[in-house]
Chain A
Amino acid sequence: MPNRSMPKFPEPDTQPFWEATKRGELTYQQCDVCNEVVFYPRGMCTNCGSGELTWKVSKGEGTVYTYSVVRQNRNPAFADLGAYALAYIDLDEGFRMMSNVVGIDNPLTDVKIGQRVKVQFEKQDDGEYPVPVFVPA
């Protein structure tokens, strides 16, 4: 997928996450006050409301919580793929993110709930930001 839809900026909450992908880092936030892990990126803690959050770098390892093999998407970046695996990944640090499971022969048979996966950054032909996707660990 060399021409995925890119995140659009300015968008202050998510921009640090995407800037980090240029360094090959998968990042999340943690609250300085109550230690709550926060994801998607945002400006306050979802547990205590504190605005004091620190960006952390994930090891990029996790488990497939659920997935769907999408067979139809009119978006030009995805229309020609035939089928691709969209998934929620539970990262070991305690956050859940949407991504894709790639690096497999057949998404219809090679993705499983509970499967261990690790992050990989996919460079785009035209897009500025590498996209964090997951491959079997």
Chain B
Amino acid sequence: MAQQREAAIVGIHEYPKRYAPDVSAMNIKAVSIKAALDDAGLKWSDIDAIYDAQDGEGGAGLGLPSYLGIKPTVIDTTQVGGSSYEFQAAHAMRDITAGKCNVAVLSYGSKSASLRTPIGTGGVSGGGSWQANMEAPYGQTLIAGYAMVAHRHMHEYGTTSEQLAQISVATRHHAMRNPQAVEAMNDLQFVGVNEITVQDVLDSRVVADPLHLLECCMVSDGGGAVIIASKDVARNTAKKPVWLIGSGEATKYRENGGDITTSAGAQSAPIAFGEAGVSASEIDVAMVYDSFTITVAVCLEDLGFCKKGEIGDYISDGKLRYDMPGGPALNTDGGGLSSNHPGMRGIFLLMESVRQLRGESTSQAANAKLAVAHGNGGQLGGNHAGGTVIMAAD
């Protein structure tokens, strides 16, 4: 199948603050939408489709048009945790290709830091539902699900904490080059806003074996918006379009006898790469959901950058840095580990891919032409969703 160039990301805006006690989540979404439209050179009245991950107020798909005062004719409320935005980008691409809309808006606003929402490391298990009844009595925390994946990966393949720490080190290196990430780490009172070493990661306290504190994403406020437009609209926008050329979706869950070290990405990635007509070896930039280091490790394998079980060796030479050869530049904005994680990070994966393919990143990969954004939502090892989006420079 010939590569399609029917829809493109034409505008982005990342809300600059990671601690925003004085604004509402809806305001973060609205301000970001306006700024992303400005980035694209489009108007408020151009919006004809919204994609809403139930992060605001007033009901999914209901509160946002009211708050914005718009009347879209495509209303999508896909919510699959942190990967919602990769799914939404795929749906916008589909809806635009089908002629249902021309200017699609994805938005996110969250107050996780200022409202002290437990996301990952301190989570309190609930109860009263089918699955919670089978997990809450055992003290299941969100991070523990990921940690059990990491332990099994280490057991089967000999992966080490030293190797996983490379992901934290590369990501922090990128964060220190991104002024917004530095401000975020300062505002959220990180201990040591500086470059880190593998030893620093290993010396940080263990939250759930084998995962250390510096292998965990932050809990921040924040949000942003992404504008996706049809090719006709994209021809006249302010900046060069970034084309959506392939997407794939999948879910995975705990199964009797199942392999916990393989994620939904093993299903979504081949679909996306097949649609795009490219392979992982051609990818310049990989924006992969870094809730924890193990998430990146498993997803890079499932995206096809190396074989299952070989991620430890693959990353041990530091090739994930933006200026290192031999592999994709990883999470060049500083990632969820060191820049921005308000709960559903998927939208930032799209944004930084766009910056890279426009040549605007603070850790710009040389001559970046192809990027992959892979969101992993829910809980790795338990119910989770994988959304893969392949993007190409104009």
A100 touches B138 (CB 8 A): yes
With A7-B136, A72-B121 as known contacts, state yes or no: A88 contacts B148, CB within 8 Å. yes
**0/1 interface trace, chain B 188-230, chain A, CB 8 Å (1 if under):** 0000000000000000011111110000000000000000000
With A73-B122, A96-B254 as known contacts, state yes or no: A42 contacts B127, CB within 8 Å. no
- In the complex, B255 has a CB within 8 A of chain A: yes
| A129–B133 CA distance with the chains assembled, in angstroms | 11
List chain A residues, Cβ under 8 A from B141. Answer: 70, 72-73, 86
Q: Which of B149, B155, B207 contacts A71 (CB 8 A)?
A: B207
**0/1 interface trace, chain A 53-71, chain B, CB 8 Å (1 if under):** 0000000000001111111
- In the complex, B135 has a CB within 8 A of chain A: yes
| A37–B257 CA distance with the chains assembled, in angstroms | 11
A8 touches B151 (CB 8 A): no
Q: Which of A6, A41, A95 contacts B127 (CB 8 A)?
A: A6
CB distance from A8 to the nearest CB of B (A): 3
- In the complex, B140 has a CB within 8 A of chain A: yes
B139 touches A70 (CB 8 A): yes
**0/1 interface trace, chain B 253-264, chain A, CB 8 Å (1 if under):** 011111010000
Q: Which residue of B lies closest to A75 (CB)?
A: B124
CB distance from A130 to the nearest CB of B (A): 10
- In the complex, B128 has a CB within 8 A of chain A: yes
With A14-B133, A78-B139, A84-B139 as known contacts, state yes or no: A66 contacts B127, CB within 8 Å. no
List chain B residues, Cβ under 8 A from A66. Answer: 148-149, 151-152, 155, 260
> Could you say which of B118, B132, B205 has the most chain A C-beta atoms within 10 Å of its C-beta?
B132
List chain B residues, Cβ under 8 A from A1. Answer: 139
List chain A residues, Cβ under 8 A from B210. Answer: 68
List chain B residues, Cβ under 8 A from A17. Answer: 134
| A78–B122 CA distance with the chains assembled, in angstroms | 11
With A6-B137, A11-B129, A108-B209 as known contacts, state yes or no: A67 contacts B148, CB within 8 Å. yes
Q: Interface range on chain B: under 10, 10 to 19, 20 to 34, or 35 or more?
A: 35 or more
| A39–B253 CA distance with the chains assembled, in angstroms | 12
B122 touches A68 (CB 8 A): no
Q: Which residue of B lies closest to A81 (CB)?
A: B139
Q: How many A-B residue pairs have CB under 8 A?
A: 134
B139 touches A4 (CB 8 A): yes
B139 touches A68 (CB 8 A): no
A40 touches B208 (CB 8 A): no
B257 touches A90 (CB 8 A): yes
**0/1 interface trace, chain A 70-96, chain B, CB 8 Å (1 if under):** 111111011001001011101000111
List chain A residues, Cβ under 8 A from B3. Answer: none
A74 touches B122 (CB 8 A): yes
- In the complex, A131 has a CB within 8 A of chain B: yes
CB distance from B16 to the nearest CB of A (A): 30
| A94–B211 CA distance with the chains assembled, in angstroms | 29
List chain A residues, Cβ under 8 A from B144. Answer: 68, 70, 86
**0/1 interface trace, chain A 85-119, chain B, CB 8 Å (1 if under):** 01110100011111110000000100001100000
Q: Which of A14, A81, A100 contacts B134 (CB 8 A)?
A: A14
A131 touches B256 (CB 8 A): no
CB distance from A82 to the nearest CB of B (A): 12
CB distance from B390 to the nearest CB of A (A): 32
Q: Which residue of A lies closest to B151 (CB)?
A: A66
Q: Which residue of A lies closest to B154 (CB)?
A: A113
CB distance from B158 to the nearest CB of A (A): 13
CB distance from A114 to the nearest CB of B (A): 8
A88 touches B260 (CB 8 A): yes
| A100–B139 CA distance with the chains assembled, in angstroms | 8
List chain A residues, Cβ under 8 A from B130. Answer: 11, 13-14, 40, 42
B260 touches A65 (CB 8 A): yes
B148 touches A87 (CB 8 A): yes
Q: Which residue of B lies closest to A99 (CB)?
A: B138
B137 touches A86 (CB 8 A): no
A-B contact sample (8 more), CB < 8 A, given A73-B124, A96-B254: A5-B136, A11-B130, A40-B131, A84-B139, A86-B140, A86-B141, A98-B135, A100-B139
Jot down 14 A-B pairs with beta carbons below 8 A, ordered by A.
A11-B130, A65-B152, A68-B209, A70-B141, A72-B207, A74-B118, A74-B122, A74-B124, A86-B140, A87-B148, A88-B254, A96-B257, A98-B140, A133-B138
- Residue positions of B touching A, CB distance < 8 A: 118, 121-125, 127-141, 143-144, 147-152, 155, 205-211, 254-258, 260
Pairs A-B, 8 closest by C-beta atoms: A8-B128, A68-B147, A7-B133, A66-B152, A69-B209, A78-B139, A8-B127, A14-B133
